Amino acid sequence: MSEPGVLGFAVRVVRPRLVGAVAVGIGVVATRLIQAFALAVLIAALLTGRSWETALWGLWLAAGMVLARAVLLWLGESVAQAAGHRVTADVRRLVLEHLLSLGPSYVAARQSGTVAATLVENAAALETAVARGVPSRLLSWIGPLLAALVIGIVDPLSAVLIAVALLIAQTAGPLWNRIGRKGHDQLFADLAAMDGGFVEAVQGMPTAKAFGATGRVRARLATQAERVRVASMRVLNALFTQMLATRWAIAGAGATVVVRAAVLAADGRISVVAGLAVVLIVLVAFTPVEEAGKYRHASIAAPLAAAKLDAFLTERPAIPEPEHGETPMAAPARIALENVSFRYPGRDEDALSDVSLELRTGRTVALVGPSGSGKSTLVSLVLWLLDPTSGRITIDDHDLRELSQDQWWRHVAVVSQDTHLFPGTLRENIALARPDAPLDEVEAAAADAGMSADIAAMPDGFDTPVSERGTTLSGGQRQRVAIARALLTDPAVLILDEATAALDGRTEQLVHRAIARLARDRAVLVVAHRMATVRDADEIVVLEGGTVVERGSHETLLNNGGTYHRLVHSGATL
Amino acid sequence: MTARTTTPSPETIDRPLWRLLPYMASRPVVFGLVICSGLLYYATTVTLPALTAYLFGALLTAHSGACGALVAGIVIAVAAAGLAQWWQAGIGHDWAYRLLKELRVRIVDGIARATPGRLLGRRTGELAEIAKNDVSATEMFFAHTAGDYIGATTVSLATLVAVAVLSPPCALVLAVLMVLVATVPAVLARRAGEQGHTVRAASAEVASETMDVIQGLRELALARRGRDYIERVLSRGDALGAAHRRYARRAGAELVTTELLLGVGLLALATVAGIQAGAGSLAVHWLPVVIVLGTSALAPVATVSATARTLGDVRAAAARVLAIVGYPAHVDEPATPRQVRTAVPPVEFDNVHFAYPGHSDDVLRGVSLRITPGETVALVGRSGAGKTTCAHLLLRFWDTTHGAVRIDGVDVRELATEDLRRTVSVVPQDIYLFDDTIADNIRLGRPDATDTDVEQVARLAGAHEFITALPEDYNTHCGERGAMLSGGQRQRIAIARALLTRAPVLVLDEAVSSLDTDSERALHDSLEATRGTRTTLVIAHRLSTIRRADRVALLDHGTVIAEGTHDELVTSSTDYRRMLARQHTAMPTS
């Protein structure tokens, strides 16, 4: 087994264990064969009217084999377990590390459920196929052939019959695999759709309920579940038909061999012991094939899962790491976008075109513009989650691409409208970028973000656990965690992406004071819809349709009577 | 969550597999056929070896009376063995997959009843895991347990009787062995359940932490903590591995014990049969038959025990599935529903108290508020004051603990849910767009609305322009959580969606928070134009929104502490002035 890709990788990491599992399996087959012979001796003595005592050694030998097999099975089980765990752990690590190298822009372009399925389920799908499937597939050949070999000593024709039955049983499987693969692809697609349906049912239910549309969610899921049922049955029916062929081959060969052995023994052409041994061996000869059948399902699913993983693993990061190593970088004082354009892959229009912008320590640049004007894209470019299609970004006159992302991210912090809280305590969440920050600094950052009162009201203060998507915290609280996070990082460049959208008046006031204090020694980029948050900016840049349509101070822009003037006078500001 | 409703949790579900039985009994004819197929299958597994063994014994001991008939019997038995297995597998699985579908739909019903609120205190990632994997785990029970158990038991007992006819002492040995093989897993079943639970919980944990890494990758990357969190997921994987190993060690021990019992049993049976044959109380040519029957009768029992070995997992999965399926509704349908008769009805909160189940603190402590027909009232107050809770009570996601919410004088508890949904529409704080076209998303509350209707409300909501700029305009798919759309665009779709229902009562929960000022003004203008055709409750932070309301109610600590027009409140209420003052010093108006 030296397959390329993740499946080959999985086999390689556990190869010694797989060899061990096969060795144990051969041992198990041997105990069965010897036990059959021992029993044959015992029964033959009775059938031929000899003394029971003369054959007692057969009983003891059989008992010894029973014990030996128990020990071997136990050993085999623990080897398989260890191998299985190792496969899952190593594949999971491989995949997660690759995800990290692909970075956030990879995830942003995809449904997170699909990405999660790739990472979790496809990795797990390899476990059984490799740890159990690979050794049992080998044993399903070795076991019956060993039995045929032993039977061949007595009657070569019976050995041939067994071998033929084995061939039929074994080729029915791969043949079916080729037919069944398409059905499997369909099943996987239907399962993925249903999984998506469940995620939607959970997340969208409040909305569906408010609009009396739970019936539609239900009907949709019922349709998806029905598709899964039909696809499952199509795959299974093919499998059952193959089982039928196998069963007939094995049972037919077995019955023929038994009748033949009986006739030969009755005619005296073989000894009664030999005849009985053949009968008893035939009963257990195909046990390894049945064992392998248990893992056939997993073995079919594995190449599909592996193909998905391989596709994922060959994805290349949107922003390649620079060749040279990590030189420490001083806090940047000037960040410039020079004629930057960006177009999302597969789109016909630039999301941003020819934008120039300068951020400087101690200055605040405000970005305003209607939704869809390119503000978020610009933020992604400054965060270096995207690379400009043309133009460049410079940091103190060096091209951003000369740095590594890690170096750059050390100096930027962002407070965005969509804050993710990670399971863990509040303190861990605030100290995300500085996990070793002392408690007093975390407290200070939280206080500056206006969280003191909220935290005092929490059952365990800073040790209060918060959860996925921050559901135990209100929108305002979540946003203040994000602000505290940024404050604690003490970044040279601070990006406030509609940072105050979810705060009520009292909290917003607290936050604004903290931000104003903080902005003094930083380069700040504010993206906001509210004029009040931008009027004190040193420069206001007005974006519309991906281009800069106006720039200047609040007063200048108001006097210009352009887009900014229109935006300001369109509604009362608060 | 146990204060008012006793919500089932997986731990409190008693005998979960037993509770799956009603699902199976729902299709009695199929259930009967599944059992028949199991009986036939197990019968062939005993008959075929017995026939060949008899033939063998008969030939060797020269009792070769009906040799031809025997061979014919063997040929038939071979054919039947294959067909019986094929039939059993086919019908059993088909049946099982139908039941799985049924369970999946019922899970969605359970989720619907439990919404909003954290379902079973679980994260969404975990819930989806239950719906997907735990339901699939019950397939094991449906497809391999019921038919198998009955078939295996019946055939084993019948074989025992056959052996008893041939040799009572052998039957006694066999009976003892059967009991032993059957009881080994049963003894360990309790631990199996606990371990199964641990395994499932650990695997759900891995899935949900992976989801966190994926969804929060930007934050993690910027904080340069990606590697740490990956290690965290992997360590969860280690915990899962440890749980798996414990589970496997016990399953392995069972496997070995069963194998030992079968092996020793065969030897014991051979010994007893040998002694009997030697003493002449068993005809020698029957000896192979007795031994083969004995081993064949033990095999089904062993199969059942093997299925039982995995039941621990299934039991834990079933408990979690049933906990969702049996989740009680927050609210009950009225027995004799009343109706809202006025075209534009008034809305009234009458001394409303509310505490979330399981929480002793009241979120609302006597809220009284009346919104006259056609009026727009802004509900203001700091975050956590109970504004969204008021909206949820009006939508009857929950029932008040004391007091009543009335529309047109009718308690919402007396309205049929369908009527209530027709009457009240909402633009919620958290907007969810379904993975569907934009048009279908707007149509959510009125699936039969025409394209013209949809376009009209989209224009009102200021959404038409950006929608027509999209590649497939109204037929553009929204994707997961509307990822391709900005916050403002999603909000405008949500507004269009709410307007399309033509509900006379509209709740806007911070509905303009993501809109730029241009869009906000446009929206207010269009709402203004249709003012008087609906009664509106606005939960607002922006002064621009508050000012446009007819009246303002200031909510603090669960009660309305001030009420009136903006101008009235500015003069009469210190609290209101303080609130505005805070906002004004923070953000001077232009």
Taking only the tens place, the pLDDT of each residue in B38-61 is 899 999 988 988 898 888 888 877
Task: Tell me how close the Cα of B407 comes to any Cα of chain A, in angstroms.
Answer: 16
Measure the CA–CA gap between B403 and B369, rounded to whole angstroms: 12
Average pLDDT over every residue of A337-361: 86
A166 pLDDT exceeds 90? yes
What was the pLDDT predicted at A574?
A: 27
The position carrying tokens 């029970």 is B141
Q: Do A255 and B52 touch (CB under 8 A)?
A: yes
- Which of B115, B228, B418 is the closest to A212 by Cβ? B418
Sorted by sequence, the CB contacts under 8 Å of residue A402 that are 6+ apart come out as A322
Indicate whether A170 pLDDT > 50: yes
Interface of A with B in 120-149 (CB under 8 A): 120
Is B521 in contact with A570 (Cβ distance < 8 A)?
A: yes
Rounded to whole angstroms, what are the CA distances from B21 to A435, A518, B17, B27? 51, 64, 7, 11
Are the Cβ atoms of B252 and A217 closer than 8 angstroms? no
Contact between residue A58 and residue A41 where contact means Cβ atoms under 8 Å apart: yes
- Identify the weakest region by mean pLDDT among A447-451, A558-562, B9-13, B542-546: B9-13
Most confident range (mean pLDDT) of A552-566, B217-231, B555-569 is B555-569
* Set of chain B residues whose Cβ sits within 8 Å of the Cβ of A496: none
How distant is the Cα of B350 from the closest Cα of chain A, in angstroms?
22
Cα B569 to Cα B368, B547, B551, B579, B582, distances in angstroms: 17, 11, 9, 11, 15
pLDDT of residue A37: 93
Q: What is the mean pLDDT of residues A118-140?
A: 86
Report d(CA B570, CA B216) in Å as an integer.
43
In this complex, how many residue pairs, one in chain A and one in chain B, have their CB atoms less than 8 Å apart?
470
Q: For CA atoms B275, B280, B282, B283, give the dihedral sign.
A: positive
Which tokens is B513 given?
């928070």
pLDDT above 70 coverage of chain A, percent = 87
Of residues A468, A502, A504, nearest to B123 (C-beta)? A468
- Which one is predicted more confidently, A46 or B481? A46
> Best of A79, A118, A161, A198 to disrupt the B interface by mutation (most B CBs within 10 Å)?
A198
User: Which residues of chain A neighbour B55 with C-beta distances below 8 Å?
Assistant: 258-259, 262
- Interface residue of B517, B585, B589 to substitute, partner A, most A CBs within 10 Å: B517
Integer Cα distance of B537 and B559 in angstroms = 16
For residue B590, the model assigns a pLDDT of: 30
Q: Do B274 and A52 make contact, defined as CB atoms within 8 angstroms?
A: yes
Whole-model pTM over 0.80: no
State whether residue A77 sits within 8 Å of chain B by CB.
yes
- The encoded tokens of residue B490 equal 């999603």
Between CA A559 and CA A553 the distance in angstroms is 10
pLDDT, tens only, B574-588: 888 877 765 543 333
Residue B441 in contact with residue B493, Cβ under 8 Å?
Answer: yes
Among chain B residues, the shortest Cα distance to A499 is held by: B514
Q: Which among B77, B124, B212 is the nearest to A422, CB-wise?
A: B212
Would an 8 Å CB–CB cutoff place A241 in contact with chain B? yes
Cβ–Cβ under 8 Å, residues B431 and A207: yes
Task: Give me the residues of A, 472-501, that contact B with CB < 8 A.
Answer: 474-477, 485, 489, 498, 501
**CB atoms A81 and B287 under 8 Å:** no
Q: What is the DSSP string of A186-205?
A: HHHHHHHHHHHHHHHHHHHH
Q: Do A144 and A286 contact (CB within 8 A), yes or no?
A: yes
pLDDT value for B526: 74
CB atoms within 10 A of CB A75: 18
Identify the band that residue A573 occupies on the pLDDT scale cut at 50, 70 and 90: very low
Token look-up 């804050």 returns: A419
* Per-residue pLDDT, B589: 35
Q: What is the pLDDT of residue B230?
A: 85
Q: How far apart are CA B173 and CA B247, in angstroms?
A: 32
Q: What CA–CA distances, in Å, run from B502 to A83, A206, B421?
A: 61, 19, 11
A233/B55 touch (CB, cutoff 8 Å), yes or no: no
User: According to the model, what pLDDT value does residue B4 have?
Assistant: 40
User: Residue B309's pLDDT band (boundaries 50, 70, 90)?
Assistant: low
For chain A positions 376-435, those within 8 Å of chain B (CB to CB) are 376, 383, 385, 405-406, 409-410, 412-414, 417, 419-423, 432-433, 435
CB neighbourhood size of A249 (10 A): 23
Which residue does chain A place closest to B235, by CA atoms?
A: A89
Query: What are the pLDDT digits (tens) for A181-229?
Result: 778 788 888 888 888 888 788 878 888 888 888 888 889 889 999 998 9
Whether B432 and A467 lie within 8 Å, measured CB to CB: no
pLDDT digits (tens, 9 = 90+) for B152-192: 889 999 999 999 999 899 999 999 988 888 887 667 666 66
Q: How far apart are CA B292 and CA B180, in angstroms?
A: 19
Asked whether the predicted pLDDT for residue B459 surpasses 60, the reply is: yes
B542 pLDDT exceeds 80?
Answer: no
Helices (H), B280-339: 287-309, 311-325
pLDDT at B123: 55
Assign B245 a pLDDT band (cuts: 50, 70, 90): confident
Confidence of residue A300 (pLDDT cuts 50, 70, 90): confident
Q: Tell me if A203 and B98 make a contact (CB, 8 A cut-off).
A: no
Q: Which residues in chain B are contacts of A232 at CB distance < 8 A?
A: 93, 97
Identify which of B101, B397, B542 has the shortest CB distance to residue A229: B101
Is B497 within 8 Å of A211 when comparing Cβ atoms?
Answer: yes
For residue B481, the model assigns a pLDDT of 45
Query: Which residues sit opposite A493 in a β-bridge?
Result: A412, A523
With a pLDDT cut of 90, the percent of chain A lying above it is 18
How close does chain B come to A185, measured CA to CA in Å?
Answer: 18
Mean pLDDT over all residues of chain A? 83
Q: What is the mean pLDDT of residues B6-19?
A: 68
Q: Looking at CA atoms only, how far is residue A208 from chain B in angstroms?
A: 8
- Report residue A541: phi and psi, to 5°: -110, 125
Interface touch A120/B206, C-beta < 8 Å: yes
Q: Note the pLDDT tens digit of each residue in B560-579.
A: 888 888 888 888 888 888 77
pLDDT digits (tens, 9 = 90+) for B270-296: 889 888 888 888 888 888 889 888 888
Please report the ipTM that was assigned to this predicted complex. Answer: 0.77
Reference B137, options B86, B89, B199; nearest CA is B199
Is A469 in the B-facing interface, judged by CB distances under 8 Å?
A: yes
When pLDDT is averaged across residues A484-507 and rounded to a whole number, the result is: 74
Query: Which amino acid belongs to residue B348?
Result: E
CA quadruple A367, A369, A374, A375: dihedral sign: positive
Nearest residue, CB atoms, B86 vs list A240, A255, A566: A240
Q: Is A567 on the interface with B (CB under 8 A)?
A: yes
Interface test with B, best of A56, A79, A220, A229 (most B CBs within 10 A): A229
Of the candidates A16, A42, A26, which has an alpha carbon nearest to the alpha carbon of residue A144? A26
Interface of A with B in 273-312 (CB under 8 A): 275-276, 279, 283
List the structure tokens of A122.
């496809």
Higher pLDDT, B360 or A291: A291
Q: What digits encode the pLDDT tens for the residues A388-431?
A: 889 999 988 888 888 887 788 888 888 776 677 887 888 888 88
**Cross-chain residue pair A209–B97, CB shorter than 8 Å:** no
Least confident of A52-61, B184-193, B429-438: B184-193
For A273-287, A356-370, A468-482, B99-113, which range has the lowest pLDDT when averaged over its residues?
A468-482
Chain A interface disruption, residue of B138, B199, B217, B307, most A CBs within 10 A: B217
For residue A388, count other CB atoms closer than 10 A to its CB.
Answer: 20
Query: What is residue A474's DSSP assignment?
Result: -
